[in-house]
Structure 1
Amino acid sequence: MKRIAALLLVLLLLQFRPEAQEMQLTTITNHADENFYFYYHDSVAMGRPVVLHKGQTRLALTSPVLLLHANQDQIPYYVYPGEKLYVEKDKENRAVFSVKDDPVRSNELLLFKDMVAQTGKIYDGGRPEFYQKKVRTADSVQLFIQTIKRKEKSRLDFIESFRMQHSISQSFYKIAIQVVQCTAVKDLLLLYRNNIELLKRDKLFESYVNECIASLEKIGYAPNIFYLHAAMQSLSIHFDQVVPLDITDTNDFARKYAFAQTRFSGTMRDFLLATCLFRVLSPKFNNVQKSVADFNQHVKDNGYRNIIRDKAVSILKPVRPAGTGEMAITNGSSTTLSAFFEANKGKLILLDFWASWCAPCRSEMPASKKIQAQFSNKQIVFAYISIDQNKKDWLRAAAEEELHSYPASFLLENADTNSFVKANKITTIPRYILIGKDGKIIAGDAPRPSEPDLVTLIKKHL
């Protein structure tokens, strides 16, 4: 009966599926002599790596994102779906983005870079600055509050000054203001978190945190990581957590979910409820149906309803027996590992196990494609096998890496229970396996494509 109920819920979720936002490819041409490493966050604040290879990289987006440079400065760049960007590096090795024949967009892509150079980092990933650390008295906390507010003012003044000297759109101006305001709230919450015992002792904690929540409500929901992290911290701080919205178990989930339901409102509440549920939903979670039904009853935002629906569908779909090796193909059909091996008997097969979230995997893609071109007329097949749990993540990343044009681009379903994965102890990625023409494994942990030894190995066995 439970299996039938799960199937019915899957069908119900699919039946009322609203149209998804259209995915568009943003093209970024890297003119620098090295790769750039970035990341951005999705609607439930999950990080996604982006490697900008020398030459051209494609980024599949459904909405604008703040692309954060993965270095000590953490400079954000506001990027729209479908636009064509160019990037190079300045004398300080900072990324400089531009849009050809669009000075307004080029100015917008410079604003945060120049702001960080003048006023310091605006995103620090949770590492405290001097004005956020633990102190001994409430008066010291108050001094640091004023420091944070002065920094906020200096950044707002910078935006006004920049706007006077450079043309930027009204919509981007509002986004820049929101980022600075949300950064101040986030900074305050980290200060309060590090002094939680002191503030509770002096009965200041609740009023201080409530002021932060009121500030976020006044700013209004903004789908960028600065707002989302501030919102998560405003919930997590009530549970004395360092990591924003870290869900430790189902009981922890229930407490935070119930608190978010009663303490927050509007789209901020929808986001927090979706983020809590998204982090706990898994095949091991016993209350999928009840939790999704409760979520849909209380959440109005269709975007977050869709995210949870898709996650629930992926969990509740019938699980195939372990070891069948069922694989989805980018063209929409399916096959199995055994069928793929059978179809390519007499050829070398290089298996590339990767995932959308694996930056080292994706940084190897250009080298892999060069090797594939080098052996294009030889008896060897290159197979890209993703272990992503979410099919949309795989399709997005495959589009960005232009794997749709390759005949052997797969999503390995139930990768955690697959017999081939278990037998070959594929516990970390990237992982490369070279299979001989006789179907036997030549190298269970082959060199990476960027290593010359891989070409030597292939030549030896062709």
Structure 2
Amino acid sequence: MKLLTLIFLFFIIIGCKDTDDIKTTKKNKGKINFTFLGEIKDTLIIPNIKYAQYSPVITFITKENPYIDQVIVMDSNTKLDSLEINFDEIILRHQYRLENIYYLFNSGDSIIYTSIKNDFPKYHVYNKEKNKKYMDNDYAILKEKVLGKIKPRDFMFFEFSEISPSKENPDDMVMKYLTRLNSQYNLESKFLDSLYHKNMLSEAFYILQTQKIRFDLYNFSISTYEGDEYYIDNKDLLLNELQNDSLVKYYFFKEFLQRVSFLEYSKGGEIKEHDVLEQYNHVKKSELFLPQSKRYLMHNLLKQIANEKSTLDFESKFQEFSLLKESEVLISDIKERYLTDFSTIKKATDSVYLITTDKIKTNLKRLIEVHKEKVIYIDFWASWCAPCRAAMPASKKLQEKYKDKEVVFIYISIDRNFNDWINASKEEGLLLNKNSILGVNYPSAKFYKELKLKSIPRYILYDKKGNLVHQNAPEPSSGIEITELLDKYLLK
């Protein structure tokens, strides 16, 4: 009774605050409407480590495509005003303090996002009069209010925040942490049951949260130093969970599938050298995974093959994957990401082929000719290259310094994934830059081999006559070194 009183008092307080401070949005039938008030923030603090952003922060899944998360907000500390989503229903996932918070929304919902209690995310649906008795969207806030802060079920966080700074035996610390997590699991299970039996949570949300905390515990246990032993000791239980094929729409189940897939392929950790091609073949032949799970895993491994293996390996496996039934949405995703329609030029060696953001084909020779009579400074980079991204502010300053002079700055990404390049270009302010392009046949082209382009960032310089005069030009942050060089060739 004491618990229930606390719950109701808590929601009277936050409920009054919301209705006083927020104006409702006009309902748009057939769409899910979001209004965001304030920045999308996170207050995660990892002891002993400088805070590093994780992304994406807010995504959603649909029943039409349960495999691929669609991104709403990529990074925390982002400002977003409003958004319309044209689906009958979505499952929204907001990653906050390493916790995945889930929300269920339907067509016609008008939702306002705010942040309370140190920027804790809050989504309020204004048109759901009939469901006002349910507290689904406030569950995460209520859980912290009643149970206190829950320890993140994330082994990397635990490793950095508790194991690294401690002198205690790591294995002993893991066992203690697992004991705490099991205790948290039991407390939250009872808390969920209490709310559900009091008719304070909808059945759909209750089932989702029950599944989530169970799989969060599995995923943490498998990811520890003794994860192989845990898997072997609990193999029957864990393999039985694979029967929940419809859960593939949830991130926690996708994570579980990836871990089980790897442990089955590696025979419980016996195989130390990981080969993504062999794991792909193992999943393809395995009878453990039901259809949706197998499609997800093969798609995920195919992306790894595209990023890590040769073009021939990727094309061979993609051809196999294209024959899978009910995989159209995944096949389209691979075609979009890895430019399969450009497979011929991806293998070409005679020229450096380039693709614009609009997927218009060009080449380096043509680009140099277009900018003849100008000094050309080329920056080779990629979305995954941290030093490349760190150099971008200096590059922009250099570009600003020479904006009224005959110097052209060209950015050539060697990303294999078109979507990753687009997203990174957006973040770096290069998306609308007509001289930001994708090197589609890296590393096949003879030019790359002659240049010995094996590491990035790398900068090269062409003079006004179109001659390559520096194969290793100074970086943008080199100060007088790069400015003297540019000035020298401007005078020639």
- TM norm structure 1: 0.64
Judged with a 3 Å threshold, the aligned counterparts in structure 2 of structure 1 residues 456 and 191 are, in CA distance, closer, same or farther, namely closer
Task: Choose which of 234, 250, 267 in structure 1 pairs with 2:260.
Answer: 234
Shift of the alpha carbon at 1:293? Answer: 5.7
Q: Of 314, 322, 333, which aligns to 2:349?
A: 322
- Structure 2 CA distance, aligned partners of 1:97 and 1:146? 27
- Residue 331 of structure 2 aligns with an amino acid whose one-letter code is R
Q: Deviations over 1:318-353 (max 9, x none)?
A: 545314011112244232212212222232222122
Q: 2:155 aligns with which of 107, 124, 140?
A: 124
Instruction: State the Cα deviation string for residues 412-450 of structure 1 (Å, max 9, x = none).
Output: 12111233333333222233334444534347142245x
Pair 105,420 (structure 1): closer, same or farther in 2 beyond 3 Å: farther
- CA displacement at 1:87 relative to structure 2: 9.8
**Alpha carbons of 1:365 and 1:183: their partners in 2 closer, same or farther (altered >3 Å)?**
same
- Give per-residue Cα distances to partners, 1:358-392, cap 9 Å, x unaligned: 34433443443344334322211111111111333
Q: Distance in 2 between matches of 1:107 and 1:377?
A: 54
- 1:316: Cα distance to partner? 4.5
Structure 1 residue 284, shift from structure 2 partner? 5.5
Q: 1:441 aligned to 447, 463, 469, which one?
A: 469
Match of residue 149 from structure 1: 182
Change (3 A) 1:369 1:253: same
Give me the whole-angstrom Cα distance separating, in 1, the residues matched to 2:429 and 2:447.
26
Alignment partner for residue 331 of structure 2, among 305, 330, 353? 305
1:254 corresponds to 2:281: yes
| Structure number with larger C-alpha Rg | 2
Aligned: 1:358 with 2:385:
yes
2:222 corresponds to which residue?
189
| 2:54 alignment counterpart | 38
RMSD: 5.6
Counterparts of 1:196-207 in structure 2 under 5 Å? 196=229, 205=233
Is contact 2:385–2:456 with CA below 8 Å preserved after alignment?
yes
Counterpart CA distance in 2 for 1:284 and 1:343 is: 30
Task: Tell me if structure 1 keeps the 8 A contact 2:115–2:122.
Answer: no
**Is the alpha carbon distance of 1:40 and 1:457 closer, same or farther for their aligned partners in structure 2, counting shifts above 3 Å?**
farther
2: CA distance, partners of 1:359 / 1:169: 44
Distance 2:146 2:455 in 1: 39
Question: CA separation in 2, counterparts of 1:379 and 1:226?
Answer: 53
- Structure 2 letter corresponding to 1:446: P
Aligned to 1:340: 367
User: Which residue pairs with 2:235 in the alignment?
Assistant: 209
Which segments of 5 or more consecutive residues in structure 1 lack a partner in the other structure?
A: 1-25, 91-95
Task: Give the distance between the partners of 1:168 and 1:360, measured in 2 at CA.
Answer: 47
Q: Equivalents in 2 of 1:114, 1:101: separation in Å?
A: 18
Whichever residue aligns with residue 240 of structure 2, its letter is A
Does residue 394 of structure 1 match 2:421? yes
Distance 2:183 2:322 in 1: 42
**Post-superposition offset of 1:277:** 3.8
State the match for 1:12 in structure 2. none
Equivalent pairs, count? 405
Q: 1:308 to 1:349 in 2, by over 3 A?
A: closer
CA 1:221 to 1:162, structure 2 compared with 1: closer, same or farther past 3 Å? same
Q: Which has the higher contact order (CA 8 A, sep 6+)?
A: 1
Tell me, yes or no, if the aligned pair for 2:245 and 2:292 is still in contact at 8 Å: no
Q: Work out the CA distance in 2 between the residues paired with 1:89 and 1:384.
A: 42
Asked if structure 2 preserves the Cα contact closer than 8 Å seen for 1:68 and 1:74, the reply is yes
Q: What displacement does 1:248 show?
A: 0.9
Q: Is the 8 A contact 1:51 1:359 kept in 2?
A: no
Structure 2 match to 1:263: 288
Q: Which residue of 2 aligns with 1:272?
A: 297
1:107 positional shift: 7.0
2:470 and 2:205 map into 1 onto residues whose CA distance is 54
The residue identity in structure 1 corresponding to 2:474 is A
State the alpha-carbon separation in 2 of the partners of residues 383 and 85 from structure 1: 39
How far, CA to CA, are the matches of 1:387 and 1:419 in structure 2? 15
User: Identity over the aligned pairs, expressed in percent?
Assistant: 19
How has the CA–CA distance of structure 1 residues 114 and 68 changed in structure 2, closer, same or farther, with 3 Å as cutoff?
farther
Q: Tell me: CA distance 1:352–1:228, structure 2 relative to 1, closer, same or farther (3 Å).
A: same
SS at match of 2:378: strand
Cα distance, 1:371–1:113 mapped onto 2, change above 3 Å: farther
- Per the alignment, residue 369 of structure 1 pairs with 396
Q: Tell me, yes or no, if the aligned pair for 2:347 and 2:444 is still in contact at 8 Å.
A: no
SS in 1 for 2:404: coil
The question of whether the paired residues in 2 share the 8 Å contact of 1:115 and 1:155 is answered with no
Cα distance between partner residues in 1 of 2:41 and 2:397: 19
TM-score (norm 2): 0.61
Mark the runs of 5 or more structure 2 residues left unpaired by the alignment: 1-35, 43-49, 60-66, 105-110, 127-134, 164-168
Structure 1 CA distance for aligned equivalents of residues 145 and 332 of structure 2 = 37
| CA distance in 2 between partners of 1:65 and 1:454 (Å) | 50
